[in-house]
Structure 1
Amino acid sequence: MIATLPRINELARKKVNQGLTAQEQQEQKQLREEYLQMIRGSMEATLLTTTVQDPEGNDVTPDKLKNIQS
């Protein structure tokens, strides 16, 4: 992620200032898709380790999430 983000930003700036070639547009699309896959994977991992508690401290994690976690 750290390696691709600067290139994504560089292509975004170039798109605004000069425009992109077809090859650069394809590269930008691919890099964005890879970045989104990493973010989604990270978010899923976070959700799989999450529990929900009410103000009294009772576990109210939805059953669907509990089933996925186990």
Structure 2
Amino acid sequence: MLSQEKIARINELSKKAKEGTLTEREAKERSALRKEYLESFRKSMRTTIENVKVVDEEGNDVTPAKVKALQEKRKLN
């Protein structure tokens, strides 16, 4: 996950953007930080989903085949 300092900087730059005082350099920095944040979030979400096991009310494993395939692939590596 992204460091607290980087998240704070994203928030700071977003606040400046709302106030209309964001420079072009700061806008580029904000864009790069947002991209880094989204990549980190997606990686974390992907890892979470790949480790999920879905069970119905009757206790049957109903994990989607695509997720099961990813889990099997990870076991082999």
Cross-structure match for 2:54: 52
Match of 2:41 among 36, 39, 42: 39
Report the TM-score, using the length of structure 1 for normalisation. 0.94
Unaligned runs of 5+ residues in structure 2 are 73-77
Q: Deviation of residue 62 (structure 1)?
A: 1.0
CA distance in 2, matches of 1:36, 1:3: 16
Q: Which runs of 5+ in 1 are unaligned?
A: none
**Segments ≥4 residues shifted beyond 2 Å:** none
1:30 pairs with one of 15, 26, 32 = 32
Q: How many residues align?
A: 70
The alignment's TM-score, normalised by the length of structure 2, stands at: 0.86
Query: Identical aligned pairs, as a percentage?
Result: 44
Tell me by how many angstroms 1:34 deviates.
Answer: 0.2
2:67 partner SS: helix
